[in-house]
Amino acid sequence: MPEQQSKPQSYDKLQHFPVTIFATVMGIAGLAIAFLRYEKMMGFSWGVGQALLYLVTAWFSLLTLVYIIKFFIYPEEVAKEFNHPVRINFFPAYSISLLLLSIAYEPTQLMLSRTFWYSGAALHLVYTIKLMYIWMHKDFEIHHINPAWFIPVVGTILVPVVGKAHAPADLSWFFFSIGIVFWIVLLAIIFNRLIFHKPLPNKLIPTLFILIAPPAVGFIAYIKMTGNLDVFARILYYHALFTTILLFCMIDKFKNLNFFLSWWAYTFPLDAITIATLLMYHHTQWVFYKYLTSAFLILACLVILMTLYQTILAARRHEICIPE
């Protein structure tokens, strides 16, 4: 009897295995890149970044395998997620994970990086076109929109970060132009929703941190494509920095929230502003940015550790992979 009862539970967990869990890969992969870049620029040989990279690669592979199994056993559940007004925007988290792995492996394993880059860029372009088609043809309400809608945009801006190592520069500019223009469009829509309509539900409040990611990643990509810290680059970086400061001034809005998987929305944006600040230090050599980078890296570590701990506790309480 115990064995017979355990099977439905395992199938039920698989049935409700959420696509949003790929946000965990984004957060950890971003931290791995931050450590790899920090260790190299500061001359440290800790090996933390490399260890995190191998760990997140294994985690990504496991999640991919589980979601493929779900796709074949419960295709209707996958279709349901793809038709969900919030969860649909997390499908591109998969292609973003591929792009982040490409960025992380580029300095040491170029062919592996190229494989991740081409598959991630192609898949993300498909997701972006499909999602924008759905946005324009479905009857969405203003309360459906939230900062998770930035996820397809952030992915297109990630493509150029190591794009020059893998393809002609025009391809990087193609992806960058998509992301940077639609970031501005979505930013206006989201602020309209935040200011003039009902507040976000508690479950989606952590997604406000996603506001940091497009300008921070845009800054990194722009510097990688041009090599210049010009006026536009500074605008992108300081907008990301201001958004980070603004969100930390709203700390009361976040500190009493119950745990949801959406807490992982805190992680990748903090990784992105850390890497962007490190890049500012590299180009300006202003010691302020060196200390700010260290502070952001410590903060990103603490937030990811806290979120990971809460995720493990929630899994032990059977609060993950359950019907919404």
Name every residue whose Cβ is closer than 8 Å to that of residue 94 and which is 6 or more positions away in sequence: 19, 22, 64, 67, 123
Mean pLDDT of 148-175: 94
CATH of the domain at 201: 1.50.10.150
Task: Quote the pLDDT of residue 322.
Answer: 84
Task: Quote the pLDDT of residue 7.
Answer: 43
Task: Quote the pLDDT of residue 246.
Answer: 97
- Packing angle, helices 231-248 and 213-226, rounded to 10: 160
In the predicted structure, residue 8 carries a pLDDT above the cut 60 = no
Question: Does 83 fall in a domain?
Answer: yes
Mean pLDDT of 12-24: 91
Mean pLDDT of 257-272: 95
Task: Quote the pLDDT of residue 323.
Answer: 82
Cα–Cα distance, 315 to 308 (Å, whole number): 10
Mean pLDDT of 199-218: 94
pTM score, two decimals? Answer: 0.93
Mean pLDDT of 29-58: 95
In the predicted structure, residue 11 carries a pLDDT above the cut 70 = no
Q: Which is higher by pLDDT, 3 or 82?
A: 82
In the predicted structure, residue 12 carries a pLDDT above the cut 80 = no
Q: What is the DSSP string of 36-89?
A: HHHHHHHT----HHHHHHHHHHHHHHHHHHHHHHHHHH-HHHHHHHHTSTTGGG
8 Å CB contact between 118 and 55: no
Task: Quote the pLDDT of residue 277.
Answer: 98
Type of residue at 209: F
Task: Quote the pLDDT of residue 10.
Answer: 47
Mean pLDDT of 148-163: 93
Mean pLDDT of 104-121: 97
In the predicted structure, residue 26 carries a pLDDT above the cut 70 = yes
Question: Does 269 fall in a domain?
Answer: yes
In the predicted structure, residue 310 carries a pLDDT above the cut 50 = yes
DSSP H helices in 197-286: 213-226, 231-248, 251-254, 267-284
Question: Does 2 fall in a domain?
Answer: no
Question: Does 321 fall in a domain?
Answer: no
Q: How does the average pLDDT of the chain come out, rounded?
A: 93
Question: Does 184 fall in a domain?
Answer: yes
In the predicted structure, residue 2 carries a pLDDT above the cut 50 = no
Q: How far is CA 126 from CA 22, 59, 63, 183, in A?
A: 18, 24, 21, 18
Q: How many domains does the chain have?
A: 1
In the predicted structure, residue 269 carries a pLDDT above the cut 50 = yes
Give the burial class of 57: count Cβ atoms within 10 A of its Cβ; 0-12 exposed, 13-18 middle, 19 or more buried: buried
Task: Quote the pLDDT of residue 208.
Answer: 96
> CA 278, 39, 302, 311: dihedral to nearest 10 degrees?
110
Task: Quote the pLDDT of residue 153.
Answer: 86
Give the burial class of 241: count Cβ atoms within 10 A of its Cβ; 0-12 exposed, 13-18 middle, 19 or more buried: buried
Question: Does 68 fall in a domain?
Answer: yes
52-103 pLDDT, tens digit per residue, is 999 999 999 999 999 999 999 999 999 999 988 888 999 999 999 999 999 9
Mean pLDDT of 102-129: 96
Question: Does 3 fall in a domain?
Answer: no
**170 lies in which domain range?**
9-316
Question: Does 235 fall in a domain?
Answer: yes
In the predicted structure, residue 1 carries a pLDDT above the cut 50 = no
